[in-house]
Structure 1
């Protein structure tokens, strides 16, 4: 399985283009190559599923795309503004209230605070808890706040690492509508295990094994290949 497609992936101002991405870690038993020549392109309105078993390199890829880690080699052309991974709450300040965290993020991304807060408050459905310190939130509340704030910023490409459904069934349907229907014109990169979502919602899939990857446009073939890994 190979992901080397750099010869056909030219820079594009309207897409995320990844070429020959390599990530190595130095360990006590030598160098471990976690990503080995990953290449793909995601344009506006396209949704790329990232499939692979545990240890395939999916999370490392998502972390590099989000800027949490740095690649050993290869390039990423970010022709679209990219979100942090949806529902990622690690960047929030625990001593600040949800309200103050929203205000801080709105200032960083230079978006109107009032409209951002109103969206987050309505979508997260955590009520008065927005005015209590974030460190006292349950995991579910943290994910709802992070998910809502991710959607409140007008990103052109959404990065999703496993978690796209938060809360009860009603809230999960709400998340689906916001992501897949109201933002159908946005690009998305989804590290995911659900074959149904891949077949019904995605336009291509990157199937990964042992750090290598292959891009499929035939989604049934991609899911079947993933099932045999």
Structure 2
């Protein structure tokens, strides 16, 4: 379970304070997959980064008793001067995983060939995405964070990604942000709508989508 306790998050500009969450207490139940909805600027990605631990609330706490992924395909954690393989080995050790298994899985999945031994700074955006997605699939999590599913590679590789992710989510929950309601309906069974610093929870996804459409008119 993921628990928000009296969480506040805001950003300050010169003459304004943008409130994302205002003293929110809430629970994401294990065994449920949630869509995070909201109009542009509501704070969907910021909320997901707080769940991932890459952004901190201004006050309050977020606690969890399960293993949560970084956002699916996120490549921001790679060190640009290290090789792809060295990055894989470092992250595998950080998560207590078998280094050889993780490295072997990603090398086979990402299909980068000899580039796996080249510095990540030399990778194209597509190569980086392949490496990141492969790593996301190499380590099993109780809950996967997905901030938009982006197409990676050609149609054949995209299908490999879809099959791999579908296999992982059979035993895992998903927290997803997407502008595609069809995609959300395929992966989620509950919804959260962010509005005016609050989290509105809906046990029925259709009710969350209907509320989102009303706010977005």
CA distance 1:56–1:224, shift in 2 (3 Å): same
Please tell me whether the aligned partners of residues 37 and 212 of structure 2 are also in contact (alpha carbons under 8 angstroms): yes
CA offsets 1:39-93 (integer angstroms, 9 cap, x no match): 4433444211111222011111112112222112233121101111111111111
The separation in 2 between residues aligned to 1:71 and 1:96, in whole angstroms, is 31
Instruction: Give the alignment's TM-score, normalised by structure 1.
Output: 0.85
Instruction: Give the alignment's TM-score, normalised by structure 2.
Output: 0.89
CA distance 1:219–1:28, shift in 2 (3 Å): same
Deviation at residue 164 of structure 1 after TM alignment: 4.9
Please tell me whether the aligned partners of residues 83 and 159 of structure 1 are also in contact (alpha carbons under 8 angstroms): yes
Correspondence 1:81 to 2:49: no
Please tell me whether the aligned partners of residues 16 and 78 of structure 1 are also in contact (alpha carbons under 8 angstroms): yes
Bigger shift: residues 138-147 or 216-225 = 216-225
Correspondence 1:131 to 2:125: no
Please tell me whether the aligned partners of residues 216 and 222 of structure 1 are also in contact (alpha carbons under 8 angstroms): yes
CA distance 1:38–1:173, shift in 2 (3 Å): farther
Correspondence 1:145 to 2:131: yes
Deviation at residue 158 of structure 1 after TM alignment: 1.4
> Which residue, 16, 28, 34 being the options, matches 2:2?
16
Bigger shift: residues 190-199 or 174-183 = 174-183
CA distance 1:201–1:191, shift in 2 (3 Å): same
2:71 partner SS: coil
For 2:158, the equivalent position in structure 1 comes to 172
Correspondence 1:54 to 2:40: yes
Please tell me whether the aligned partners of residues 51 and 191 of structure 1 are also in contact (alpha carbons under 8 angstroms): yes
For 1:221, the equivalent position in structure 2 comes to 207
For 1:192, the equivalent position in structure 2 comes to 178
Please tell me whether the aligned partners of residues 176 and 184 of structure 2 are also in contact (alpha carbons under 8 angstroms): no
Please tell me whether the aligned partners of residues 38 and 194 of structure 2 are also in contact (alpha carbons under 8 angstroms): yes
CA offsets 1:187-208 (integer angstroms, 9 cap, x no match): 2211221111222221211122
The separation in 2 between residues aligned to 1:157 and 1:30, in whole angstroms, is 35
- Structure 2: gaps spanning 5 or more residues: none
The separation in 1 between residues aligned to 2:166 and 2:203, in whole angstroms, is 19
- Structure 1: gaps spanning 5 or more residues: 1-14
The separation in 2 between residues aligned to 1:51 and 1:26, in whole angstroms, is 23
1:83 partner SS: strand
Please tell me whether the aligned partners of residues 45 and 184 of structure 1 are also in contact (alpha carbons under 8 angstroms): no
Bigger shift: residues 159-168 or 132-141 = 159-168
